[in-house]
Amino acid sequence: DAKTTQPTSMDCAEGRAANLPCNHSTISGNEYVYWYRQIHSQGPQYIIHGLKNNETNEMASLIITEDRKSSTLILPHATLRDTAVYYCIVSGGSYIPTFGRGTSLIVHP
């Protein structure tokens, strides 16, 4: 499965959009991009996934570039409860879901 690269940390003002990038330059044709988040001391929470089209659900939007080498998770109106570590995972043929170090997002008042 393709490896991913994410910034270590980001911060965002409450009420503003949080845009979390992920690089997956070695992604192959049938691999999906999955996003999760983990709030302190809780189990990770599934957010959204996609293949090549942009996706939106009640939690977030996922924008995947045309070449599929990177993606951005967008939280449109961040709240303090969105403070968490966000993980981007690519799932493909070998199917060993591997969590990288993720991005620690801090939403401040």
Partner 1 sequence: DTEVTQTPKHLVMGMTNKKSLKCEQHMGHRAMYWYKQKAKKPPELMFVYSYEKLSINESVPSRFSPECPNSSLLNLHLHALQPEDSALYLCASSPRPDTTRTREQYFGPGTRLTVT
* Residue among 13, 16, 26, 99 that touches partner 1 (CB under 8 A): 99
**3-state SS record for 65-105:** CCCCCEEEEEECCCCHHHCEEEEEEEECCCCCCCCCCCEEE
Closest approach, Cβ 66 to partner 1, in A, equals 19
Contact set for partner 1, span 49-78 (CB under 8 A): 49, 51
Closest approach, Cβ 32 to partner 1, in A, equals 5
- Enter the DSSP assignment of 20: E
CB nearer to partner 1: give 8 or 109. 8
